[in-house]
Structure 1
Amino acid sequence: MSGDAPFDLSPRRVALIYAAFGFLWVATSDSLVAGLPNHDLIQTVKGWLFVVLSALLVYVLVDRSQSELDRTSEQLESTLAHTSVLHRILRHDIRNACTAILGYAELVEPRDDADANTDPVEAIRERASRLVEVSDEVALLRTVELAEGNEVDVDLTSAVTDAVEDLEMEYPAVQVSVASPETLVARAHPALPRSIAELLDNAVVHSDCDDPEVHVGVWQLGEVVGVTVTDNGPGIPDAEREALLSGSETPLSHTSGVGLWLVRAIVDASGGSLDISTPKSHGTVVTVSLPRPA
C-alpha cells in the first residue's frame, strides 16, 4: 500500500481544475499571439494544442481518480475479509472456550461423578488464557489494518533470532535450525516480527510429532527478501490454505485460528506476499516475501 496522502478528486474538484486550466489558457494564449504574424494559423494551432493538453489533463485526473478507487476497493476487500474472520472467531472460538469454561466450572462443584483425571482449575485457566490471546490477536489485527502504509525498516535476521529464542523457551522439545545472513533488512509493517513469531508458534502448536522440527531460512533474491518456515507437521488443510491465499472465508472454507490471518494481514500491509505449500505428504512450507528498502 502506498504511504502517499490521499488527494481529493471529487467531480467538483475535477471540474474546477479543468475550468481554471481553460481560463488561464485562453487569457494567456490570446495575449501572446495577438501581435504575431499568421494570426489565423497560430489560432488554429493553439486550438489543437489546447485539445491535446486538455486530453492529457483529463487523462491524468481520471487515472489518479481510478488509482484512488482501486486503493479504496482493496482496503474494503481487506476489511470485509477481516470482518469475516472476526465473526467466525466470535461464533466459534470464543463460544467454544466459554462453553468449556462453564463445563469445567461445574466440575469444581462437589460431585460424585467428577472426572478424577481432569484438573478443572487448570483447564479453566488454560481456556481463559486462550481468550486473552484471541483478544490480543484481534486487537492487533485491527491495528494492522489501520496502520497500513506506515512501513519501517525491519531486520529479518534479528526478528527471526528473537522469535526462535522465545519458541525454544516455551517449547524445549522443539528442534529449530536457522539459515540466515548476519543482517538482512526489509521494508515492512512494524508488526512483522510478530508475524514471524506467529509462524514459528503455529508450526509447533499444530505438530503431531513428539519432537517437532522447524527450519527457518532468511533469504534475498534480487530486490525481494523474505523468510521461509518449514516444519514436519501434518500440513495445513487445503480448505484453510485456500482461504488464506484467497483472502476470504466461506462456510466450507475457513481457517481454524486467527494467527495465520494475522500473518496474512501483516504481510499484505507490508506490500509483500504469502505462499503456503505442502511439498510432501507431511510438513508445511510458508514463505513470506517482502520488498527491500529503496
Structure 2
Amino acid sequence: MALIYAAFGFLWVATSDSLVEGLPNHELVQTAKGWMFVVLSALLVYDLVGRSQTELDRTSERLESTLAHTSVLHRILRHDIRNACTAILGYAELVESRDESDSNTDPVEAIRERANRLVEVSDEVALLRTVELAEGNEVDVDLSSAVADAVEDLELEHSGVRVSVASSVETLTVRAHPALPRSIAELLDNAVVHADCDEPEIHVAVWQLEGSVGVTVSDNGPGIPDAERDALMSGAETPLSHTSGVGLWLVRAIVDASGGSLAISTPKPRGTVVTVSLPRPA
C-alpha cells in the first residue's frame, strides 16, 4: 500500500508541475492542484485501506474456520478414535478367550464394525481438511441431480428407509464447492444413523427463492441435542458443547466454502430439519 501511494505521489508531482507551469494564474492553479492532490490522495488511501480490511476479514474467517476444525479433530482423537480402539482391544480379548466367554456379541463382527468406523472417521477427517484447502474453488453443481443420486445411494444401502423428494424444478444449478453433493449425502446418512425407529422417514425438498436456493432435509428421528446444535451454529466446540461425529461439521465446512449457510431446527414433538441455503446464481 505504501509503494502504491509513493508511486502516485511521484507521478503527480512529476507530471502536474510541468503541465501547469505555462498556464496563466500560475499561483491559483498551483493551489487548486494541491487541493486536488489531497482529495485524490484521500480517495486512494480509502480504497487501499478498504482492500486491506477486506483481505484481513477473509484471513480472520479462514483462521476461525481452521480453529473450529482443529477443535473438532481434537475431540475426534480424544473421544471417537480412543473409544473405538478401546472397544477393539476389548473384543480382541474376547476372541482370545472365546470358549470361556458367554457374551452374545460376536467379537469378530464387533471388531470389524469398529475398524470400519475408524476408516470412515479417517476419510471424513481427510475430506474436512481437503474442503478447507480447496475453499474458493467453485464449480457448477446441479442440486436436483445431487439429491437424486444421494437418495438412490441411501435406499440401496438401507432398504427399510423411506425417502420422499419434492422439487419445483428438474435442474437447479449453483456455483459451489465440489464436495457439495457429499454434504447432501451426509445429511441423509445422518438422519438414518441417528434414527430410533425401524422405518425412518426422510423428506427432501429442493427449493428456490428470489435470492437463494437450497435443500431441506427433515426426518422423524429423536432430534439433534441442543448442545450439538449450539456447537454447529457457533462454529466452535467446548467440553460441554460439542457434536458426536464428524458428518455435520463436514456439512457445515462444505456449505461455508460454498458461500452458503446452514440452519438446524428441531420441531416438536420430534424430528430434525436441516436447511442448506446457497446464493442464487445470476
Give the counterpart of 1:187 among 175, 178, 203: 175
2:15 counterpart residue number = 28
Give the counterpart of 2:261 among 256, 268, 273: 273
Indicate whether 1:217 and 2:209 are aligned.
Answer: no
Using the size of structure 2 for normalisation, the TM-score is 0.98
Indicate whether 1:80 and 2:67 are aligned.
Answer: yes
Q: Which amino acid aligns with 2:24?
A: P
1:164 counterpart residue number = 151
CA-based RMSD:
0.9
Shift of 1:207: 0.7
For the residue of structure 2 that corresponds to 1:149, the secondary structure is coil
Cα distance in 1, alignment partners of residues 78 and 159 from structure 2? 34
Indicate whether 1:290 and 2:273 are aligned.
Answer: no
For the residue of structure 1 that corresponds to 2:102, the secondary structure is coil
1:38 counterpart residue number = 25
Q: 80-89 or 278-287, which moves further after superposition? A: 278-287
Cα distance in 2, alignment partners of residues 156 and 134 from structure 1? 26
2:78 counterpart residue number = 91
Alignment check: 8 A CA contact 1:153 1:293 kept: no
2:184 counterpart residue number = 196
State how many pairs are aligned.
281
1:5 counterpart residue number = none
Cα distance in 2, alignment partners of residues 139 and 111 from structure 1? 36
Q: Could you report, residue by residue, the CA deviation over 1:147-170 in whole angstroms, capped at 9, with x for unpaired residues?
A: 000111100010000000111111
Q: Which amino acid aligns with 1:26?
A: V
Using the size of structure 1 for normalisation, the TM-score is 0.94
Indicate whether 1:145 and 2:132 are aligned.
Answer: yes
Structure 2: give runs of 5+ residues left out of the alignment: none
- Pair 1:179–1:111, CA change in 2 (3 A): closer
Structure 1: give runs of 5+ residues left out of the alignment: 1-13
Q: Could you report, residue by residue, the CA deviation over 1:23-74 in whole angstroms, capped at 9, with x for unpaired residues?
A: 1101111111111111111110000000000001111111111111110000
For the residue of structure 2 that corresponds to 1:275, the secondary structure is strand
Cα distance in 2, alignment partners of residues 62 and 110 from structure 1? 71
Q: Could you report, residue by residue, the CA deviation over 1:154-194 in whole angstroms, capped at 9, with x for unpaired residues?
A: 00010000000111111111111000121111111000000
Cα distance in 2, alignment partners of residues 168 and 121 from structure 1? 27
For the residue of structure 2 that corresponds to 1:118, the secondary structure is coil
Indicate whether 1:102 and 2:89 are aligned.
Answer: yes
Cα distance in 2, alignment partners of residues 46 and 251 from structure 1? 63
Q: Which amino acid aligns with 1:141?
A: L
Cα distance in 2, alignment partners of residues 252 and 74 from structure 1? 24
* Residue correspondence of structure 1 range 53-72 to structure 2 within 5 A: 53-72=40-59
2:251 counterpart residue number = 263
1:208 counterpart residue number = 196
For the residue of structure 2 that corresponds to 1:172, the secondary structure is coil
Q: Which amino acid aligns with 1:265?
A: A
Alignment check: 8 A CA contact 1:233 1:282 kept: yes
1:136 counterpart residue number = 123
Shift of 1:112: 4.8
Q: Could you report, residue by residue, the CA deviation over 1:92-146 in whole angstroms, capped at 9, with x for unpaired residues?
A: 0000000000000011113554134111100000000000000000000000000
For the residue of structure 1 that corresponds to 2:237, the secondary structure is coil
2:219 counterpart residue number = 231
Q: 140-149 or 107-116, which moves further after superposition? A: 107-116
Q: Which amino acid aligns with 2:190?
A: N
Alignment check: 8 A CA contact 1:215 1:230 kept: yes
